[in-house]
């Protein structure tokens, strides 16, 4: 996976290039507000893009789902066998005593 890209703000040189894109901007434009909003949109875009890049691929997601389903099945069978054996309270007390949790 590529390292995440971050965006903080436009450099002053880059912002000057953006302003030079058009010579006849309307005079009533609030440039500080526009710059702030554009920079926030850039931060939001790259945060979303980095989150999406960190997601597992479809094959990995399938493997994770299979693994979680097997774990749930295993835990269900383990609970039933412990309850049926009459050792539930001893097993849980012992695990707490050793500082472990299920």
Among the residues of the chain, which ranges form H helices? 12-19, 31-54, 58-85, 88-97
Domain assignment present for residue 66? The answer is yes
Residue 84 has a pLDDT of 56
Considering the entire predicted model, what is its pTM? 0.52
6 located within any domain: no
Residue 11 lies in a domain: no
Q: How confident is the model at residue 54 (pLDDT cuts 50, 70, 90)?
A: confident
Say what the pLDDT of residue 41 is: 93
Please check whether residue 37 lies inside any domain of the structure.
no
Bigger pLDDT: 61 vs 1: 61
- Confidence grade of residue 27 (pLDDT, cut at 50, 70, 90): confident
Task: Confirm whether 36 is domain-assigned.
Answer: no
Say how many domains are in the chain: 1
Alpha-carbon gap, residue 42 to 99, rounded angstroms: 47
In a domain, 84, yes or no: yes
With a cut of 90, say whether residue 58 has pLDDT above it: no
Domain of 90 in residue numbering reads as 58-97
């Amino acid at each position: 996976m590529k390292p995440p890209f971050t965006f903080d703000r436009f450099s002053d040189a880059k912002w000057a290039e953006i302003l030079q894109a058009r010579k006849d901007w309307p005079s009533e434009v609030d440039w500080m507000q526009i710059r702030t909003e554009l920079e926030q949109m850039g931060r939001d875009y790259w945060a979303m893009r980095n989150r999406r890049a960190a997601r597992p691929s479809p094959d990995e997601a399938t493997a994770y789902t299979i693994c979680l389903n097997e774990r749930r099945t295993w835990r269900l069978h383990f609970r039933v066998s412990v309850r049926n054996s009459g050792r539930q309270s001893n097993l849980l007390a012992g695990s707490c005593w050793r500082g472990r949790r299920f």
